[in-house]
Every structure is written in structure tokens, then in C-alpha cells.
């Protein structure tokens, strides 16, 4: 009988598969090492001019310098940030489309809207938080109360209460105002606007007595004396407004409510790219001049890790769920 030799075909196929796997494994780090090789799009899901947009632009230019590629800010406003955020969720996970995440969009909208077109946890890879944006309560000079304690008392004694504006139903300032009502019994009546700019114009003009908003939008009007700064809701007083007390030291111990902004990538973006971006963002926000510019906007620089940022998103989702339920806030 002729001698039968084992077929070499399985060994050849196996060798080819191993070679292919090795080549693919080598290609992944190489792609991360070459990143970025073209401009990066940074989606801002709001119109130009707000604190989210301004903070993003402060960081984007310097980030582009460090990466050696332009970081192009692309404003995609609509539906309280839902439209632009959904665009980023659907983008290719290659590191060339990023989005500015805002707490109002990522951790509040899922509770106040019947449906949002993205999952804030499953659809994104958190990169790093740019920082925490302080909120401030301001009033028209005609309002007789000049301290937060006096404002609470004034609201209780005023028929119909005191109206306060915010950037919109379900915004962080709106929820902060509702939480203050629960904590103090104040008779504050929410008036939603489609943005902080018109609300501020109405306070300056005297048709709105009180506004809860980001420090960045209020700062120039406070400096000019066009509005009275009553209190900030950050943990500590701000270096840019050291004379303005916190809500916590104004009769509501432990109270803190700030907005945050950060940068996220689509889910499944390669981890080496996420880590590279985080390192560069941390370096940018902690460079002295950028840190000072952010502070001028009322933003305390962060630059935290992807894991830390991800945990905060999940924790805040739970925290705001309780506040929204208590205040019965819904957007149709």
C-alpha cells in the first residue's frame, strides 16, 4: 500500500490565520501611534456663545496645537442638545468625531424627555471632563432682597412668588432652582427660556426679577452693576467673584449644584486613542493661561480620567432621576 502522509493544508491555513492575526494586532497600535492624521471634528450640540460652546472653543484651539491637527468646532444645536449628541453617537468610532458632553444633555434629558435618541452610557466612550461650571443667582436691582436669605423670605411674602428664569425646562439651573424650593420652601416660579441670553436680557431690562444661570453669561452684567449677584451654587466662592457668597453659606448647608462639560467619543473608539486624548486634554486645561481663561468663565478645570468621568455620568444619572421625579419635570 502507498504510504499516506498527513495533509499540509490545515497547517498552511492555520499559519495564514496566525499571520493575519499578528498583522492585525500590529496594525492597531500603529493606527493609534499615527493618530491623528487629519483634522478632528468636535461637535458642540448648542448654538455659539453659551458657556458650553465658549469653554469648548477655549480648549479646542490648544488641543489642536498639541495634537498637530486642527480641532474644528461644529455647532449642531437643537432639542436641548439631543440632536448634536445623537450625531456623535452615530459617528465612526475612529477618534475623528468627538462631542462636547453637557450634564443637561447627558444626565438630565434622559429623565425629562419621553425619549432621547441615544444612550448616555452605552453609546459613548468618556474621554475627560473639561471642568465644572458654576451657577449663579442674579436679580434685577429693583428687587429689594439683596441676600439669598432675604430673597427666600421675599418670595414667601410676595403674592404669586418671585419668577426666576433659566435656559429651559430641564436645564441644570432649572433643576437647581427646584431643589432650592424643596430645601428652603421658597416661592420661586420657574419661567423657561430657549436660551440664557434672552433670559439675561429680560433681567437687565427689568421684565424678569430673577435668573439662575451659568456664571459666564452673568459675569459682565454683574461687573457693570446691571444685575445683583445674590449667590453662587458652587462648593466654594469663585476667584472671579470673591464677594459673592455661596448658597451653602447663605442658609442652605451642603447645597451644591454645578454644571459640567466634557469631551466624549463614540462607543468602541480604540482605548489608546481615548487615552491619548485624555492626556492632552488634561495638559491643556491645566496649562496656566487656559486654566485662567476657564476660571473667567466660571469653570473649574478638571481633566479627569475616562473611568472617573464615566463614573460621574452614571452617578449623576441616578441623582438627577430623583430630583426630576420630585419636581415632576417633563418635556413633551
- Tens place of pLDDT for every residue, the chain, 332 residues? 444 545 555 455 445 444 444 444 444 444 567 899 999 999 999 888 778 888 899 999 999 999 999 999 999 988 888 999 999 999 999 999 999 999 989 999 999 998 999 999 999 999 999 999 889 999 999 999 999 999 999 999 999 999 999 988 888 899 999 999 989 999 999 998 877 788 999 999 999 999 999 898 899 999 999 999 999 999 899 988 999 999 999 999 999 988 899 999 999 999 999 999 999 999 999 999 999 999 888 899 999 999 999 999 999 999 899 888 887 888 76
Give the domain-ending residue among 193, 216, 250.
250
Same domain, 198 and 245: yes
Counted domains in the chain: 2
In-domain check, residue 332: no
CATH number at residue 92: 3.40.190.150
The residue range of the domain holding 84 is: 39-132+258-327
Same domain, 48 and 101: yes
Same domain, 283 and 315: yes
Q: At 277, list the grid cell.
A: 486624548
What is the rounded end-to-end Cα distance, in angstroms, of the chain? 83
Round to whole Å and give the CA distance between 130 and 133: 9
φ, ψ for residue 93, nearest 5 deg: -85, 65
Give the domain-ending residue among 250, 275, 297.
250
The residue with cell 434685577 is 140
In-domain check, residue 178: yes
φ, ψ for residue 18, nearest 5 deg: -65, -40
In-domain check, residue 152: yes
In-domain check, residue 104: yes
Q: Find, among 303, 126, 103, the residue nearest to 214 by Cα.
A: 103
Same domain, 118 and 267: yes
Strands 124-133, 259-266: pairing kind: antiparallel
In-domain check, residue 34: no
Same domain, 127 and 147: no
Amino acid at each position: 500500500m502507498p504510504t499516506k502522509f498527513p495533509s499540509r493544508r490545515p497547517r498552511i491555513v492555520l499559519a495564514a490565520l496566525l499571520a493575519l492575526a499578528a498583522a492585525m494586532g500590529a496594525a492597531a497600535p500603529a493606527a493609534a501611534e499615527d493618530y491623528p492624521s487629519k483634522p478632528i471634528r468636535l461637535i458642540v450640540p448648542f448654538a455659539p456663545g453659551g458657556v458650553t460652546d465658549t469653554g469648548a472653543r477655549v480648549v479646542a484651539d490648544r488641543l489642536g496645537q498639541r495634537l498637530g491637527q486642527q480641532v474644528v468646532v461644529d455647532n449642531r444645536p437643537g432639542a436641548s442638545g439631543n440632536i448634536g449628541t445623537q450625531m456623535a453617537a452615530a459617528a465612526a468610532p475612529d477618534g475623528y468625531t468627538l462631542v462636547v458632553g453637557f450634564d443637561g444633555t447627558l444626565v438630565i434629558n434622559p429623565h425629562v424627555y419621553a425619549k432621547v435618541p441615544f444612550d448616555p452610557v452605552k453609546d459613548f466612550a468618556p474621554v475627560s471632563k473639561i471642568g465644572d461650571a458654576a451657577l449663579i443667582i442674579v436679580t434685577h436691582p429693583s428687587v429689594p432682597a439683596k441676600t439669598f436669605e432675604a430673597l427666600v423670605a421675599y418670595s414667601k411674602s410676595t403674592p404669586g412668588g418671585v419668577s426666576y428664569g433659566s435656559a429651559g425646562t430641564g436645564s441644570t439651573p432649572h433643576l437647581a432652582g427646584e431643589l432650592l424650593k424643596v430645601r428652603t420652601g421658597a416661592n420661586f416660579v420657574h419661567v423657561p427660556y430657549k436660551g440664557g441670553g434672552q433670559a439675561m436680557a429680560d433681567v437687565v431690562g427689568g421684565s424678569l426679577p430673577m435668573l439662575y444661570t451659568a456664571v459666564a453669561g452673568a459675569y459682565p452684567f454683574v461687573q457693570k452693576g446691571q444685575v445683583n449677584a445674590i449667590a453662587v451654587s458652587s462648593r466654594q466662592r469663585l476667584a472671579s467673584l470673591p464677594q459673592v457668597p455661596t448658597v451653602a453659606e447663605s442658609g442652605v448647608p451642603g447645597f451644591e449644584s454645578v454644571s459640567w462639560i466634557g469631551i466624549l467619543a463614540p462607543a468602541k473608539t480604540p482605548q489608546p486613542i481615548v487615552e491619548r486624548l485624555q492626556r492632552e486634554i488634561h495638559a491643556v486645561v491645566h496649562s496656566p493661561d487656559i486654566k485662567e481663561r476657564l476660571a473667567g468663565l466660571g469653570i473649574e478645570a478638571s481633566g479627569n480620567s475616562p473611568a472617573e468621568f464615566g463614573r460621574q455620568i452614571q452617578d449623576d444619572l441616578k441623582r438627577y432621576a430623583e430630583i426630576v421625579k420630585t419636581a415632576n419635570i417633563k418635556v413633551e
